[in-house]
A and B are shown apart, each in its own frame.
Chain A
Amino acid sequence: MDSRAILAELPRLRRYARALVGSREAADDLVQDTLERAWLRISHWQPGSDLRAWLLAIMHNLRIDQIRRPTLAVTPIDEEALEFPVRATQTDRIELGELEGALSCLPEEQRAVLLLVALEDMSYAEIAATLNIPAGTVMSRLARGRERLRRILDARSKPAQLRVVR
């Protein structure tokens, strides 16, 4: 495994981790743990295979370990202000802040599939291999996640339209 190849993957790993766990600090901790474990498992790495998929699979396993541990569901209160100082605020129809809020309402297993499709452009088969789940499970998590996001966003956009009319 070559250091430059890892360095090249880091921005994407950070982006995926941020989208998955929400906070910058927790996401970077997850990336750090992933890299540490990757170096420990370096003998398992098959040269020529997809490095990003391998790292994402390690991250996924770490995340499962973390979720099994008892944790406190809290967010440091100063963090939200620091997130994403510069970004687009909406697509044609979706308010991105609302999308972020809706995303955080999904179970993590659905969020992971949605993000691998949207951010990593992975095929359903690649996602099944990375998450070590059957292809049918990828599809059902994707379908439930997308439908739930759609409902949440629909519910949020309607009251806003009413206000405009008044």
Chain B
Amino acid sequence: MSLSPISDSDLHAFVDGELSEGRHAEIAAWLAEHPEDASRVDAYREQKQGLRLLFAPVLDEPLPDRLRALAEPPPSAQPAPRPAVRSRWSLQRIAASLAIGLLGGAAGWLAHDHYRPPMIAAYSSPLPHQAAIAHVVFSPDVKRPVEITAEHEDQLVTWLSKRLGTPIRPPRLGALGYELIGGRLLPGSSGPVAQFMYHDASGQRLTLYVSTENTTNRDTAFRFAREGPVNVFYWIDGQFGYALSAGISKNELARIATAVYDQFQK
């Protein structure tokens, strides 16, 4: 009854209104006599309608400020600043300007397309990956997220300092809304590392991973890595490698990383 054979593609094109009027009518006539194909077409239509219903509520959500702000051209959409060596950069300024991928120069996160090689180099450090794994393993644990809780912070500090062979103390992040839950000892690449865990009032957890394994003796600026849904800021300071991990936005994590950095500088 039809001029050309009916293919699978015809059925999809029929559902999506991609056919000429004549072909559409041919398929409709075919379906009237082929209930199995007709039920497949119905199923595809249902899927299409279901997907619209499923995700329609997203259209009505208020826009997050961070996205609303990006409807305007960012300052860095102007020609990228020429890389220049700055002897002393301010971390607050880096965080505040969201120049997150800043690698000891003026290559901002917003210019990361132009500076891909350093980002890839940064990613190859095992520190953020190890920290993200530790975050993913322990932070969802409701009952036993830490080995020693904040109630016994003195013991935690004594124990971790002894095991890491250097004084180590969890930073205070109460001013940023994060309270210490506690900490634990973990195996690193060549020895022990420490993990401190914090949470905010909504239960959002973040972990600070502190390693003393750095031997290259090269300090770094803040670097950013993303491991699936986990964002990680990390930096190296002398023998210490620090990595702050959480499933929160880069901006918020940058703010906390700045505070952590400041406290360890004291």
Complex: A57 Cα to B30 Cα, angstroms: 37
B204 in contact with A78 (CB, 8 Å): yes
Assuming the contacts A15-B58, A119-B55, asked whether A78 and B73 have C-beta atoms less than 8 A apart, the reply is: no
| Range, interface on chain A | 35 or more
In the complex, chain B residues whose CB is within 8 Å of the CB of A80? none
Assuming the contacts A3-B71, A12-B59, A39-B73, asked whether A73 and B50 have C-beta atoms less than 8 A apart, the reply is: no
A72 in contact with B132 (CB, 8 Å): yes
B136 in contact with A74 (CB, 8 Å): yes
- CB-contacts of A102-120 with B (<8 A): 103, 114-115, 117-119
B12 in contact with A10 (CB, 8 Å): no
A118 in contact with B47 (CB, 8 Å): yes
Complex: A128 Cα to B19 Cα, angstroms: 17
Main secondary structure of the interface of B (DSSP, over half): helix
Residue among B56, B123, B132, B228 with most chain A CB within 10 A: B228
- CB-contacts of A83-139 with B (<8 A): 84-88, 90-94, 96, 99-100, 103, 114-115, 117-119, 123-124, 139
Which one of A31, A40, A93 contacts B46 once the chains associate, using CB atoms below 8 Å? A93
In the complex, chain B residues whose CB is within 8 Å of the CB of A92? 46
A118 in contact with B70 (CB, 8 Å): no
**Chain A 54-93 per-residue mask, 1 if CB under 8 angstroms from chain B, else 0:** 0000000000001001111111111100001111101111
B203 in contact with A78 (CB, 8 Å): yes
Pick out which of these stretches binds chain A: B61-69, B149-157, B180-188.
B61-69
CB distance from A2 to the nearest CB of B (A): 9
Assuming the contacts A39-B77, A72-B136, A74-B136, asked whether A29 and B249 have C-beta atoms less than 8 A apart, the reply is: yes
B70 in contact with A35 (CB, 8 Å): yes
In the complex, chain A residues whose CB is within 8 Å of the CB of B147? none
Identity of the chain B residue whose Cβ is nearest the Cβ of A111 in the assembled complex: B51
Which one of A18, A40, A42, A72 contacts B58 once the chains associate, using CB atoms below 8 Å? A18
Assuming the contacts A29-B249, A87-B53, asked whether A40 and B227 have C-beta atoms less than 8 A apart, the reply is: no
In the complex, chain B residues whose CB is within 8 Å of the CB of A26? 228-229
CB distance from A89 to the nearest CB of B (A): 9
A40 in contact with B113 (CB, 8 Å): yes
B40 in contact with A18 (CB, 8 Å): no
Which one of B66, B71, B248 contacts A7 once the chains associate, using CB atoms below 8 Å? B71
Identity of the chain A residue whose Cβ is nearest the Cβ of B64 in the assembled complex: A28
B67 in contact with A32 (CB, 8 Å): yes
* Chain B contact residues, CB within 8 Å of chain A: 8-9, 12-13, 16, 18, 40, 43-44, 46-61, 63-64, 66-68, 70-74, 76-77, 109-111, 113, 123, 129, 132-133, 136, 140, 203-204, 226-231, 247-250
Known: A72-B136, A74-B228, A149-B47. 6 other contacts (CB 8 A): A14-B67, A28-B64, A29-B226, A74-B136, A84-B57, A117-B48
